[in-house]
């Protein structure tokens, strides 16, 4: 394991993300409020650069109590969308919304003195 | 010095991918895979270009001056689809509303020469490790629904002229299946006769999205010419949200998933039950971009009904599935969520000799060579066949010796060979 400083927290907007290439790895760092999440830039579908996609709001479908559709709405959760084929992953859990087993590989990330540090294997 | 103020060394920030990203950056992760395929012969039997950015060049190749003037009159209109093309509902939904940028546009910078379309194709081939790519159009895949058959014929002629005379000579690794304006059988025949001798034309494409029964007598002259040329006819499927059945689907996903299979199921059924393979036994057919799962489904349905109602298909001498097993299929979009089912499908279609790898690049549901190399139930030679050697045979492409898949001789065997002695490779 090695701790690697990749950038400044201030450079990542709340709700935004940055993708860093370092030490033979590519990692996306996502900021949600005061929390950071780090995911490998490798899509479990076919190896695409998942973190270099854009963030979109998760879409839900609202139903009436008697199960009629009221149409689509944004749930408030954020998804990173793979630019290769569109697989979506929750930026906080790294999980695909439709399949528990399809998930991103995460790394520990923290902030020290305003710097973002990743803990990467090797 | 305060370490925190400096930019970290050895760290590079990667940009977000958008419609201006260079194909080589966008597909960089595929390049790593491609390096492992260096001694494989890889043919993409179904790649695409987006022809609308080059539409003015294409319509400039219309032989008919009236249609040429009509098409060019659309040039100045902002926001409308390119003139005469009759682009279909849903076409703009494909990029999932901005989520998949390469489907929307490859707006990257390219040098002045060669032509932008050629550069984009070269970049895709190089990053994915392809030796050849069949370059087919995109919006024209629904041109078969055009209400004016004469316009389909005119655009088909113009596209083939542009592709075969202006684009293909710029890059020998680009090969093409020319567009057949199938709603006008005479015009389709003219296109075959015009381009059949071009070695970069490896076959003829019928876009499946149309309402023309493929067994109609009006096509027999065309099929005879195709059989005579030795090159395959392909049925390239597509979608059409304006189709009355498809209008029942309220999501693009649903319509798209079914449409591509639906048209090829109908054409395959008519093709086999009317005995086209018996009438033209040397004509080779290819079924493109419908995935594979539908094939064993149709085989079973047709075999079952044929055995009970044989007198309705008197030209057949064998079961429908036996004819289907001799046809060719392209991989993409390969259904691989259930590997047991996929393995059974491979067996049913004789994948080892009949299946051709295809990317469908740059469309949103493209496949990479790893869709084949990662299949656990294939052996090395089967992977090589599917990735390129089957296509080499069908399209008559020369394969460099080192890509044939037989093991290279070691230094001892080489030294022996230099003295004219062949060492044993085992019994
Ligand atoms: S590689 Fe990410 S969606 Fe396919």
Ligand 1 binding pocket includes A45 (Cβ within 6 Å): yes
Closest CA to B385 of B343, B406, B356: B356
Distance of alpha carbon B257 from alpha carbon B332, whole angstroms: 13
Residues A81 and A56: beta-carbon distance below 8 Å: yes
Compute CA A34 distance to the chain's CA centroid, rounded to the nearest angstrom: 15
Write the CATH number for B253. 3.20.20.140
Other CB atoms within a 10 A radius of the CB of residue B252 amount to 18
Which residues in chain B have Cβ-Cβ distances shorter than 8 Å to A115? 4
pLDDT on residue B423: 62
Domain count, chain B: 2
pLDDT at B407: 54
B325 and B426 housed in the same domain: no
**Residue B17 belongs to a domain:** no
The verdict on B184 and B329 lying in the same domain is: yes
Q: Which residues pair with residue B133 across a beta bridge?
A: B44, B174
Q: Can you give the pLDDT at residue B424?
A: 60
Residues of A in contact with B364 (CB under 8 A): 85-86
Record the pTM.
0.92
Query: Do the bridges between strand A99-103 and strand A88-90 make them parallel or antiparallel, or are there none, so unpaired?
Result: unpaired
Question: B290 CB contacts (<8 Å, ≥6 apart)?
Answer: B208, B237, B260, B261, B263, B264
CA-closest candidate to residue B341, choices B377, B388, B365? B377
* Residues B391 and B402 occupy one common structural domain: no
Q: B4 pLDDT exceeds 60? A: no
Q: Are residues B157 and B181 in the same domain?
A: yes
Closest CB to A85: pick one of B4, B365, B370: B365
ipTM attached to this prediction: 0.94
Question: Using an 8 Å Cβ cutoff, are B43 and B395 in contact?
Answer: yes
**Distance (Å, whole) CA A88 – CA A45:** 10
Is pLDDT at B46 greater than 90 in this prediction? yes
Is there a contact between A21 and B11 if contact means CB atoms under 8 Å apart? yes
C-beta A82 within 6 A of ligand 1: yes
The residues spanned by each domain of chain A are: 2-53+81-120
Task: Say whether pLDDT at B1 is over 50.
Answer: no
pLDDT of residue B3: 46
Measured CA to CA in angstroms, residue B170 lies from B119, B167, B174 at distances of 10, 6, 9
Residues in chain A: 122
Q: B interface mutation test: which of A56, A81, A86, A118 has the most B CBs within 10 A?
A: A86
Please name the member of B10, B17, B367 whose beta carbon is closest to the beta carbon of A52: B17
What does the angle CA B64 – CA B48 – CA B171 come to, to the nearest 5 degrees?
80
Q: Please give the average pLDDT of every successive group of 10 residues along chain A, which has 122 residues.
A: 94 97 94 96 96 97 96 96 98 97 98 96 84
Same structural domain, B238 and B328? yes
Residue with tokens 């998930």: A103
Give the domain range for residue B121.
Answer: 23-53+106-395
Residue B77 lies in a domain: no
Do B203 and B343 sit in the same domain of this protein? Answer: yes
Q: Does the domain made of A2-53+81-120 have the CATH classification 2.102.10.10? A: yes
Six-digit token pair at B284? 């080779």
Note whether B300 and B418 are same-domain residues. Answer: no
């Amino acid at each position: 394991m090695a701790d690697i400083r990749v950038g400044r927290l201030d450079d990542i907007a709340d709700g935004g993300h940055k993708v860093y290439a370092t030490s033979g790895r590519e990692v996306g760092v996502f900021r949600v409020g005061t929390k950071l999440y780090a995911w490998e830039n490798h899509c479990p579908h076919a190896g695409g650069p998942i973190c270099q996609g854009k963030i979109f709001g998760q879409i839900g479908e609202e139903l009436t109590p008697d199960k009629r559709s009221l149409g689509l709405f944004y749930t408030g959760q954020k998804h990173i969308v793979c630019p290769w084929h569109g697989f979506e992953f929750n930026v906080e859990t790294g999980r695909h919304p439709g399949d528990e087993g399809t998930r991103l590989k995460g790394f520990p990330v923290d902030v020290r003195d305003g710097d973002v540090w990743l803990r990467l294997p090797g | 010095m305060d370490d925190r103020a400096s930019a970290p060394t050895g760290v590079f920030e990667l940009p977000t991918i958008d419609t201006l990203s260079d194909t080589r950056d966008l597909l960089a992760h595929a390049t790593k895979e491609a390096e492992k395929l260096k001694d494989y012969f890889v043919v993409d039997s179904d790649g695409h270009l987006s022809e609308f950015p080059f539409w003015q060049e294409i319509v400039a190749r219309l032989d008919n001056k009236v249609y040429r003037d009509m098409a060019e009159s659309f040039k100045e209109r902002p926001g409308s689809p390119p003139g005469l093309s009759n682009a279909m509902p849903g076409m703009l939904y494909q990029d999932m509303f901005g989520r998949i940028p390469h489907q929307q546009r490859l707006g990257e910078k390219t040098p002045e020469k060669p032509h932008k379309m050629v550069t984009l194709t070269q970049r895709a081939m190089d990053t994915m490790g392809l030796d050849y790519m069949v370059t087919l159009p995109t919006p024209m895949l629904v041109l078969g629904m055009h209400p004016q058959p004469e316009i389909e014929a005119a655009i088909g002629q113009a596209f083939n002229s542009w592709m075969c005379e202006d684009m293909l000579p710029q890059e020998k690794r680009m090969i093409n299946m020319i567009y057949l304006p199938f709603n006008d059988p005479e015009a389709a025949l003219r296109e075959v006769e015009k381009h059949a001798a071009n070695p970069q034309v490896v076959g003829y494409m019928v876009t499946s999205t149309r309402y023309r029964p493929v067994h109609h007598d009006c096509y027999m002259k065309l099929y005879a010419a195709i059989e005579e040329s030795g090159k395959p006819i392909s049925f390239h499927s597509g979608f059409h949200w304006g189709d009355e059945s498809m209008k029942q689907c309220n999501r693009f996903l649903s319509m798209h998933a079914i449409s591509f299979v639906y048209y090829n199921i109908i054409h395959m059924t008519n093709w086999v039950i009317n005995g086209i393979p018996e009438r033209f036994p040397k004509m080779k057919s290819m079924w493109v971009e419908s995935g594979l799962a539908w094939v064993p489904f149709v085989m079973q349905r047709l075999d079952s009904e044929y055995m009970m109602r044989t007198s309705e298909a008197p030209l057949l001498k064998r079961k429908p599935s036996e004819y289907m097993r001799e046809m060719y299929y392209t991989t993409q979009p390969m259904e691989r969520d259930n590997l047991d089912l996929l393995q059974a499908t491979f067996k049913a279609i004789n994948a080892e000799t009949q299946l051709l790898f295809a990317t469908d690049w740059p469309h949103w549901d493209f496949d990479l060579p790893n869709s084949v190399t990662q299949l656990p139930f294939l052996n090395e030679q089967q992977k090589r066949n599917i990735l390129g050697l089957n296509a080499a045979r069908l399209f008559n492409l020369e394969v460099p010796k080192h890509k044939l898949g037989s093991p290279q001789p070691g230094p001892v065997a080489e030294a022996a060979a230099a003295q004219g002695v062949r060492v044993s490779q085992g019994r």
